[in-house]
Amino acid sequence: MKAASFHRFGGPEVLEIVDLPDPHPGPGQIRIAVRAAGVNPSDWKKRQGEMDQELPQTMGYEAAGVVDELGEGVTDVSVGDRVFGFNTEGTAQAELTVLSFYAPIPPSLDFPDAAALPAAIETATRALDQLGVKAGSALLVNGASGSIGSAAVQLAAARGARVIGTASPANHEYLRTLGAEPVAYGEGMADRVRATAPEGIDLALDVAGSGVLPELIGLTGGPEHVVTLADFAGAQEHGVLFSRGDSGRAVHVLGEIGELIESAGFSLPVAQTFPLAAVAEAHRAGESGRVRGKLVLTVD
């Protein structure tokens, strides 16, 4: 099979499409013929050598496609079903991949839309679960207009929380469509949040990692009311929980998101698609910082 890979660390130019042996599912897993695979910031961090140090490496943890092989004990899907989910080995950007966690693709979605979902909705749901967001909570999302931030806004609103989201003014109308009350980030952000929610903020989720943890702690009343997805050093310094997948994944959301999507309560826009062979171009687009929505690779 063809798969995205790199044999040295560096810029997007190190990415290449290579031939690898076809994978096969183990017990409880399925294999899909990939139709689309999500691209995430962790991909370029991995490519730059900021994560695993072994070489060569393959790419991608989320994909959507058609089931073509079942592992032992799998009875909840059949060959030919449309599914989306997680590949835990980092080999989702390929013609074939094995999914360890999966769910049927919601009927209204195509393959790129479905491939955009897993990482964003799992990360957002995990953080909301860790914060204990529920009906009546007042939640501040710092960095609300990106894929994870916008997922968190919608999922929190679906729980009945009041959501305030920070973003640049150009993204404020977008946040309103998601169900958030927008506030501009930058100097004076905390004062603007207090003016928007004079009764106070209960919880805060930091998606942007922009050095605002002290302000979020001040707004919520303590570090135990704050979770960050992006500021590991700040979390250690200020006693805030840094949410990471190895602390337990919220894969339950894969089976839950379909109902919310079909009731028009959730959407995650795909900003641009690229063929698998153009994976380097997808990385350049993502690293530009000018993309709102997910980048997705397609496989014919």
DSSP SS3 for 99: strand
Q: Report CA torsion sign: 60, 149, 260, 286.
A: negative
pLDDT reported for residue 50: 87
List of residues 6+ apart from 276 with CB closer than 8 A = 2, 4, 17, 37, 93, 94, 95, 297, 298, 299
| Residue 184 backbone zone (phi > 0: left; psi -120 to 50: alpha; other: beta) | beta
Segment (H or E) for 10:
none
pLDDT per residue over 193-240, tens digit each?
Answer: 999 999 999 999 999 988 999 999 999 999 999 999 999 999 999 999
Contacting residues for 215 by C-beta, under 8 A, at least 6 apart: 189, 190
* 53: its two tokens: 């140090």
Pairing mode, strands 101-104 and 96-99? unpaired
- pLDDT exceeds cutoff 70 at 70: yes
Tell me: the pLDDT tens digits for 5-43? 999 999 999 999 999 999 999 999 999 999 999 999 889
What pLDDT does 247 receive?
Answer: 65
Taking the CA of residue 185 as centre, how many other CA atoms within 13 Å lie in the half-sphere pointing to its CB? 21
Residue whose C-alpha is closest to residue 86's, from 55, 107, 65, 71: 65
Domains of the chain listed by start with CATH number: 2-117+268-298 (3.90.180.10), 121-247 (3.40.50.720)
Q: Indicate whether 182 pLDDT > 70.
A: yes
133-168: pLDDT as tens digits:
999 999 999 999 989 999 999 999 999 999 999 999
Q: What pTM, to 2 d.p., does this model score?
A: 0.94
Would you say residue 87 has pLDDT above 80?
Answer: yes
Give, for 141, the enclosing helix (H) or strand (E). Answer: strand 138-142
DSSP SS3 for 81? coil
pLDDT of residue 249: 86
Q: What is the pLDDT of residue 290?
A: 72
pLDDT at 85 over 70: yes
The overall average pLDDT reported for the chain is 95
Q: Are 67 and 81 spatial neighbours (Cβ–Cβ below 8 Å)?
A: yes
